[in-house]
Structure 1
């Protein structure tokens, strides 16, 4: 097993799967255990893709990479570049 945190491993796998992502960050809401994470990813890969499909795709990636068993909760914010810019404007 890797010595890096579950959060680091999630980000690494997401970055590999979405190499064109302009933003890929994670916040640990679990007080250090790393099992409750909030993932933000911005990629035009999501253009035209419903939100539910985006979430399923990322959840399936976590399962395929064997990371799902270590997570209690994963909140996913998956945005296109246009959506991200709108969100940042407020």
Structure 2
């Protein structure tokens, strides 16, 4: 998927990069999970804005009508996996 490759390129040290399409394949409603330690010390709103800005700069945001972003550090990701 072209979006995933572009997100991975922006976060080459990402521990996880998961895109789930909730729009029956058209890509208009997505859930994006990016796990990287580069988010360490960054408030959630700033993480989300960074991801949104990246998508806009790559021309990928126009295709998306609904986007849920989960931007976590490695520590937060491990904790969430342990809670599941």
Give the TM-score of the pair, scaled to structure 1.
0.89
Q: Distance in 2 between matches of 1:17 and 1:82?
A: 20
Q: Which residue of 2 aligns with 1:39?
A: 32
1:27-85 Cα shifts (integer Å, max 9, x gaps): 10001211100011110000000000000000001110011111111111110000001
Q: Which residue of 2 aligns with 1:21?
A: 14
Give the ranges of 4+ consecutive aligned residues of structure 1 lying more than 4 Å apart after TM superposition. Answer: none
Q: Distance in 2 between matches of 1:59 and 1:68?
A: 8
Pairwise CA distance, 1:9: 2.1
**C-alpha RMSD over aligned residues:** 0.7
Q: Distance in 1 between matches of 2:74 and 2:52?
A: 21
Give the TM-score of the pair, scaled to structure 2.
0.95
**Runs (5+) with no aligned partner, structure 1:** 1-7
Q: Which residue of 2 aligns with 1:83?
A: 76
Q: Which residue of 2 aligns with 1:62?
A: 55
Q: How many pairs are equivalent?
A: 83
